[in-house]
Copies of this chain bind each other. A is one copy, B any other.
Amino acid sequence: MGAIAAQAVTRSVEDYLKAIYRLSTAGQPATTSAIAGLLELSPPSVTGMVKRLSEQGLLAHEPYRGVALTAAGRRLALRTVRRHRLVESYLVAYLGYSWDTVHDEAERLEHAISDELAERMAAALGNPGVDPHGDPIPTADGDIAEVTGVPLSDVPEGVAVEVRRVDEHDAERLRYLASLGLVPGALVTVTGREPFGGPVMLRTPAGTHALGPSLAGDILCGRPAE
């Protein structure tokens, strides 16, 4: 339920919660410096905000150890993630944005739109389950689907798999991946790979290419639907 947010939650607060959410779902510990790194802030700033958010019951903070979201913090974080991904989806679907340029716009709009507008966009989009990058969109009541799959870098050779999610924010790299046909839903087959984490050879609808291991690690694949 949107029975959240009795009052104004600042941009900052939402950004902190989102960053902590991101770290914890990435399996990384939400340390002061990790948060500072994501938000491009100094560690003392983070310590200060973490203390405030703990007092508000949004975070559990073990000094010198790290933080975790409380249930309330997680709800707020997911609400922000939902808005972000809905905005990205909407801008791509209806306003001609490409997946590499929506991020910054969504980063600002996610803090400004009302629940009303978020739900109207969701409805216009047909309540999508994933955004243009293949990231799952949390539901309005805070459920979020798991994304399962194997990084393209680990996909066995010769098997046709479907790109499920592209975990990359850099605009230029996103354009590059799109030019290779590596977008959510595309079918890919690994045709060969160099040893020791070298480039991967692959065939996509857009042709045959070599892809470096770091990018290949950002692409989550799975068995083609149906």
Q: Which residues of A contact B (CB under 8 A)?
A: 91, 94-97, 104-105, 108-109, 111-114, 116-117, 120-121, 124
Q: Evaluate contact between A105 and B95: CB separation under 8 angstroms.
A: no
Residue contacts A-B, CB under 8 angstroms, 16 given: A91-B117, A94-B94, A95-B117, A95-B120, A95-B121, A96-B120, A104-B114, A105-B114, A105-B116, A105-B117, A108-B112, A109-B109, A109-B112, A109-B113, A111-B112, A112-B112
State A155–B113 Cα separation when bound (angstroms): 40
A108 proximity list for chain B (CB < 8 A): 112-114
Q: Evaluate contact between A124 and B95: CB separation under 8 angstroms.
A: yes
Q: Evaluate contact between A113 and B117: CB separation under 8 angstroms.
A: no
State A121–B95 Cα separation when bound (angstroms): 7
State A108–B108 Cα separation when bound (angstroms): 11
A105 proximity list for chain B (CB < 8 A): 113-114, 116-117
State A193–B96 Cα separation when bound (angstroms): 51
Known: A108-B112, A108-B114. 18 other contacts (CB 8 A): A91-B117, A94-B94, A95-B117, A95-B120, A95-B121, A95-B124, A96-B120, A97-B120, A104-B114, A105-B114, A105-B116, A105-B117, A108-B113, A109-B109, A109-B112, A109-B113, A111-B112, A112-B112
State A145–B79 Cα separation when bound (angstroms): 40
A51 to chain B, nearest CB (A): 25
